[in-house]
Structure 1
Amino acid sequence: MSSPAGPERPPRAADRIKVWFRPAPREGRPPYDTEGLWATRLGPDTARVDNAPFLQDGVAEGETVRFRTDADGVHWAVGRAAGSGNCTVRVLPLPDGPLGRDAGAVHERLAAYGLTGEVFSADFPLIALTVPGGADLRGVKELLARGRDEGWWHFEVSCVTDAWRAA
C-alpha cells in the first residue's frame, strides 16, 4: 500500500527515539523529575508515543507529540500534536489486598478489555496501562472501581478522551 508520501514501511531503528517529559511532582509518586517515553519519529519535530507513561499526565500511547531537540541531542516534549483515542490508566495493587503485589494478577483481570501495559518494577508494581479507544470503556471503568472498592488496587486515570468521560 502506498501513501502520498511514498510506500509505507515499518519504522527503522533510526526512527525510534526517546522523548522526554517533565511531569509535575505529586505526592505518592516515585521521585523523578523526568520521564522518557519511546516514540517513533514522524517528522523533524514530531513523534508517535510507543508506550504508556508512568508519570506524565495528559498523554497516551499512540499520540503524536511535538518535541524540541536540545544542544545535547535530547528530545524534549513541548506539546501534543494529535490524540490517539487511547487513554492511560495507572494501577497499583495493594500489598495487603487479595492480589498482593502481583502485577500479573492485575493484568489478568483487565486482559479481557484489550488493555496493554508494563510494570514499573518488582519492588514498586505500578502498572501503566493503555486503554484502546475501541475498548468497552464502561466495563473498564466499572472493573477499576470494583477493584478499588474491594481493596485490590488504587488507580488513577491520567489521560482521558471524551469517549471515556461519556462512558
Structure 2
Amino acid sequence: MSSPAGPERPPRETDQIKIWFRFAPREGWLPYDTEGLWATRLGPDTARVDNVPFLQDGVAEGETVRFRTDEHGVHWAMGRVVDSGNCTVRVLPVPEGPLGRDARAVHERLAGFGLRGEVFSAEFPLVALTVPGGADLRGVKALLARGRDEGWWHFEVSCVTDAWRAA
C-alpha cells in the first residue's frame, strides 16, 4: 500500500521511539502525570503505538498518534490520528480474592479471547490488556463483569470503540 509520502516500508529497530503522554493524575491512583509508550515511527510526526498503556486513557495499542519533538528530543503525543479498532482494559486482582495478587491468573482467565498485555509490577499486579477489535467483545465484557462480581478483580476500560459499546 502506498501513501502520498511514498511506499510504506517495514519498521526497522531504529524506527522505534518512545512517545510521551501527559495527563492529570487521579486521586487515589498512581502518582504519575506522564506515561511513555513504545511506538514505531511512521513519518516525521506520526507513530504507531506498540504497547498497551497502564495509565493513559483514550489510546490503545496499534493506534497512530501525532507527536511533536521538543528541544530535548522528547516526543510528546499530540493526539490520535488513526484508531486501531482495539480497546484497552486494565485489571487489578483483588488481593483477598480467589486469584490473590496473581497477574498470571488474570491472564489465564482471559487468554481464550486472544488478549495480550503487560503487568505493571510484582508489587502492583495491574494487568493492562489489549482487546483486539475482532475479539468476542460480548464474551470479554461478560467475563470481566463476572470476575468483578465474584471478587476476582477490579477493572476499568480506558479506551473503547463503538463495537465495544454495542457489544
TM-score (norm 1): 0.95
The sequence identity of aligned pairs, in percent, is 82
With over 3 angstroms needed to count, the CA separation of the structure-2 counterparts of 1:134 and 1:18, relative to structure 1, is: same
TM-score (norm 2): 0.95
Equivalent-residue separation in structure 2 for 1:98 and 1:27 (angstroms): 27
Equivalent-residue separation in structure 1 for 2:110 and 2:97 (angstroms): 17
Q: In the alignment, what sits opposite 1:12?
A: 12
**Structure 1 segments unaligned to the other structure (5+ residues):** none
Equivalent-residue separation in structure 2 for 1:99 and 1:159 (angstroms): 25
Q: Secondary structure at the match of 1:21?
A: strand
1:33 Cα offset (Å): 1.3
**Structure 2 segments unaligned to the other structure (5+ residues):** none
- Provide Cα deviations, 1:36-95, integer angstroms capped at 9, x if missing partner: 000000000000000110000000000000000000000000100010000000000010
Contact between 1:18 and 1:39, CA under 8 Å: does it hold in 2? yes
Q: In the alignment, what sits opposite 2:55?
A: 55
1:8 Cα offset (Å): 3.9
Equivalent-residue separation in structure 2 for 1:23 and 1:89 (angstroms): 18
1:7 Cα offset (Å): 6.7
Contact between 1:24 and 1:56, CA under 8 Å: does it hold in 2? no
1:141-160 alignment runs, 5 A limit: 141-160=141-160
Equivalent-residue separation in structure 1 for 2:136 and 2:8 (angstroms): 34
1:30 Cα offset (Å): 1.1
1:3 Cα offset (Å): 4.2
Aligned length: 165
1:77 matched to 2:65? The reply is no
1:14 Cα offset (Å): 1.2
Two-structure CA RMSD over aligned residues (Å):
1.2
One-letter amino acid of the counterpart of residue 53, structure 1:
P
Equivalent-residue separation in structure 2 for 1:46 and 1:119 (angstroms): 27
Q: Secondary structure at the match of 2:140?
A: helix
